[in-house]
């Protein structure tokens, strides 16, 4: 039995960590789609000011199951 999965790209950021940015991406995606199953971090970057990281940024691909239509 095969399943239909859709992948969306989400950009997120956090002042705490890349992990927090990833959690934020999943939370944001979950507001628009159901059945989120995984997140794949494609790219990580950071904004620096005065020799200090002030924003942790990620580019992620989030997958979710598509419900079958009967």
Could you give the C-alpha distances from 16 to 21, 36, 47, 54, 61, in angstroms and in order? Answer: 8, 23, 12, 8, 21
Please report whether residue 70 resides in a domain.
no
User: pLDDT 10s per residue in the chain (70 long)?
Assistant: 788 899 999 999 999 999 999 999 999 999 999 999 999 999 999 999 999 999 999 999 999 999 765 5
Q: Which residues constitute the domain of residue 46?
A: 5-65
Q: Tell me, yes or no, whether 40 lies in a domain.
A: yes
CATH of the domain at 24: 3.30.1660.10
Q: Determine whether 23 is exposed, middle or buried from the number of CB atoms within 10 Å of its CB (0-12, 13-18, 19+).
A: middle
Please count the structural domains in the chain. 1
60 part of a folded domain: yes
């Amino acid at each position: 039995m095969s399943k239909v999965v859709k992948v969306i790209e989400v950009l997120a950021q956090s002042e705490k960590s890349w992990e927090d940015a990833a959690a934020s991406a999943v939370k944001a995606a979950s507001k628009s789609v159901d059945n989120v199953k995984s997140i794949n971090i494609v790219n990580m970057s950071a904004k620096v000011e005065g020799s200090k990281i002030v924003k942790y940024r990620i580019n992620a691909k989030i997958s979710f199951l598509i419900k079958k239509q009967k």
